Amino acid sequence: MIRLVPARRPGLLPPAAAGEPWLMTVIAVLCFLACLAAVAGAAADRAAQGWARQLGAEATVQVRPRVGESGATAAARAAETLAGVDGVEEAAALDRKAAEDLLRPWLGDAVLPDLPLPFLVAVRLNPEAPASALTLSRALAEAGLDASVDDHSLWRGEVERSARLIALLAAAAFLAIALAAGAAIAYATRAGLAAGRSTIETLSLNGATDARIAGLFMRRFGLMALAAGAIGAAGAGLLVIFLRFLGGSEGLTQALPLAWSDLLLLSPCPLLAATVAVLAARFAALKVLGSDRQDG
């Protein structure tokens, strides 16, 4: 019977030197974790930047009434004064109910009725050209108001520092996973060299150089890591898509807002995995072959 499909040409390396299924599974899992670390870092940075922008577009003013003046009247005068300042879009005095709503998550309902609350004015700033805290304080002082302005700069700085820390942690996690993948591939390359010792000797006797022999392992493990990286990236992509649909327009949560653009972060994973595999296989193969030359 004539075979219509040509037989696959056997490789020069023995099957034992090929990418073991367990090694491919390990690389796929590591790539999956690396992709999740990258997406989580991007989402956390996006959330932090959004919080920083929101804090930068708002300010809170605490008003202290003068003698013979009620707190509500002083807060109303402060809101009217600030509404006319350049860089302010809106200023509104908060009544007691609104102030209690702000403090309820922190203090609960038990102590709020008897707690003396400050008189506050919420200021919404122009995001393009916001008024500074100094400008707001000067306008209040010129109006004869005793008030303190909080432009949330302290909180904004903390959020920005947290975003930088999260980015560093995500990068560290990615590098640790890449190192683990490289170590696994290097170990597998050494095992492949040991298993294919007779084949390597035959190739050497037929004139194959160390670089040529190492190239065989680089190609084998590079293709295997490329496939494993694609599997890991695909799994992470499916998880991101599921969480994106689960969270609706806000991604997963406001603390982890996933976006469709996060899927682009997964695309380099197969190529990066193959690069790590090729480098690890080359270094391991040349080191083993060089030591064998010295022993011989």
* pLDDT over threshold 80, residue 254: no
| Type of residue found at 229 | G
Per-residue pLDDT averaged across 257-268, rounded? 85
Closest CA to 83 of 137, 55, 133, 125: 125
83/85 Cα distance (integer angstroms): 6
pLDDT tens profile 213-252: 778 878 888 888 899 889 999 999 998 888 887 765 555 5
Does pTM surpass 0.85?
A: no
The contacts of residue 26 (CB under 8 Å, 6+ apart) are 181, 184
Residue 6: per-residue pLDDT: 41
Among the residues of the chain, which ranges form H helices?
Answer: 21-56, 71-83, 96-107, 133-142, 153-195, 197-205, 210-247, 269-295
Percent of the chain having pLDDT more than 70?
81
Using pLDDT thresholds of 50, 70 and 90, give the confidence band for residue 4: very low
User: What count of other Cβ atoms lies within 10 Å of the Cβ of residue 276?
Assistant: 26
293/287 Cα distance (integer angstroms): 10
Per-residue pLDDT averaged across 102-106, rounded? 70
**Average pLDDT value over all residues in the chain:** 77
Answer whether 31's CB lies under 8 Å from 234's CB: no
pLDDT tens profile 20-63: 677 788 888 888 988 888 888 888 778 777 777 777 778 888 88
| Type of residue found at 230 | A
